[in-house]
Amino acid sequence: MKATITVLPGDGIGPEVTAQAVRVLEKIGGKHDHDFTFQEALMGGIAIDKTGNPLPDETLKACEQSSAILLGAVGGPQWSDPTAPVRPEQGLLGLRKHFDLFANLRPVKAYPALAQHTPLRAELLDGVDMLFVRELTGGIYFGPRQEQGDGLSAYDTELYTVPEVERVAQVAFRAAQGRRRKLTSVDKANVLASMRLWRRTVVKVHEDYADVELDHVLVDACTMYLMTRPAAFDVILASNMFGDILSDEASVLAGSLGMLPSASLGAGTFGLYEPVHGSAPDIAGQGKANPTGTILSAAMLLRYSLGLEAEARAVETALEQTLAAGARTADIAPRGGSFVSTGEFAGDVLARL
Ligand code: NAD
Give the residue among 246, 122, 243 at the shortest CA–CA distance from 171: 243
* Surface-to-core class of residue 249, CB atoms within 10 Å of its CB (0-12 exposed, 13-18 middle, 19+ buried): middle
Supply the pLDDT for residue 352. 97
Q: What span, in angstroms and rounded, lies between the C-alpha atoms of 131 and 1?
A: 27
Q: Is the CB of 14 under 6 A from ligand 1?
A: no
Q: What span, in angstroms and rounded, lies between the C-alpha atoms of 170 and 175?
A: 8
Pocket test for ligand 1, best of 93, 277, 319, 344 (most atoms within 8 A of CB): 277
The H or E element that residue 298 is part of is helix 292-304
Supply the pLDDT for residue 82. 81
DSSP 108-160: EE--GGGGGGSSS-HHHHTT-EEEEEEE-SSGGGTS-EEE-TTSS-EEE----
Q: What span, in angstroms and rounded, lies between the C-alpha atoms of 54 and 110?
A: 35
Q: What span, in angstroms and rounded, lies between the C-alpha atoms of 267 and 259?
A: 27
Domain spans in the chain, listed from the N-terminal domain onward: 1-109+257-353, 119-130+139-254
Asked about 220 being catalytic, the answer comes back as yes
Supply the pLDDT for residue 150. 85
Length of the chain: 353
CATH of domain 1-109+257-353: 3.40.718.10
Class of domain 119-130+139-254: alpha beta
Nearest residue (by CA) to ligand 1, atom 26, is 278
Cβ contact 166:203 at 8 Å: no
SS3 of residue 245 by DSSP? helix
Report CA(253)–ligand 1 centroid distance (Å).
17
Q: Please list the pLDDT of the chain residue by residue as tens digits (353 residues).
A: 999 999 999 999 999 999 999 999 999 999 999 999 999 999 999 999 999 999 999 999 999 999 999 999 999 999 999 889 999 999 999 999 999 999 999 999 998 889 889 999 999 999 999 999 999 999 999 999 998 888 899 999 999 999 999 999 999 999 999 999 999 999 999 999 999 999 999 999 999 999 999 999 999 999 999 999 999 999 999 999 999 999 999 999 999 999 999 999 999 999 999 999 999 999 999 999 999 999 999 999 999 999 999 999 999 999 999 999 999 999 999 888 899 999 999 999 999 99
Cβ contact 128:115 at 8 Å: no
Report CA(13)–ligand 1 centroid distance (Å).
9
Helix, strand, coil shares of the chain as percentages rounded to 5? 45, 20, 35
Supply the pLDDT for residue 83. 85
Q: Do the strands 154-156 and 35-40 form a parallel or antiparallel pair, or are they unpaired?
A: unpaired
Supply the pLDDT for residue 113. 82
Q: Is the CB of 9 under 6 A from ligand 1?
A: no
Supply the pLDDT for residue 336. 87
Cβ count near 216 (within 10 Å): 17
Q: Is the CB of 255 under 6 A from ligand 1?
A: no
Question: Looking at beta carbons, which pairs linking 241-247 to residues 24 or more positions away fall under 8 Å?
Answer: 241/139, 241/140, 241/141, 241/158, 242/134, 242/186, 242/187, 242/188, 243/104, 243/132, 243/133, 243/134, 243/135, 243/186, 244/134, 246/132, 246/186, 246/219, 246/222, 247/106, 247/108, 247/132, 247/134, 247/276
Asked about 208 being catalytic, the answer comes back as no
How far does CA 94 lie from the centroid of its chain? 17
Q: Do the strands 103-109 and 213-218 form a parallel or antiparallel pair, or are they unpaired?
A: unpaired
Backbone φ and ψ of 215, nearest 5°: -135, 160
Does the fold of domain 119-130+139-254 match that of domain 1-109+257-353?
yes
Give the residue among 74, 69, 73 at the shortest CA–CA distance from 59: 69
The H or E element that residue 215 is part of is strand 213-218
Position in ligand 1 atom list of the atom nearest CA 282: 11
Q: Is the CB of 137 under 6 A from ligand 1?
A: no
Report CA(205)–ligand 1 centroid distance (Å).
36
Report CA(335)–ligand 1 centroid distance (Å).
21
Asked about 187 being catalytic, the answer comes back as no
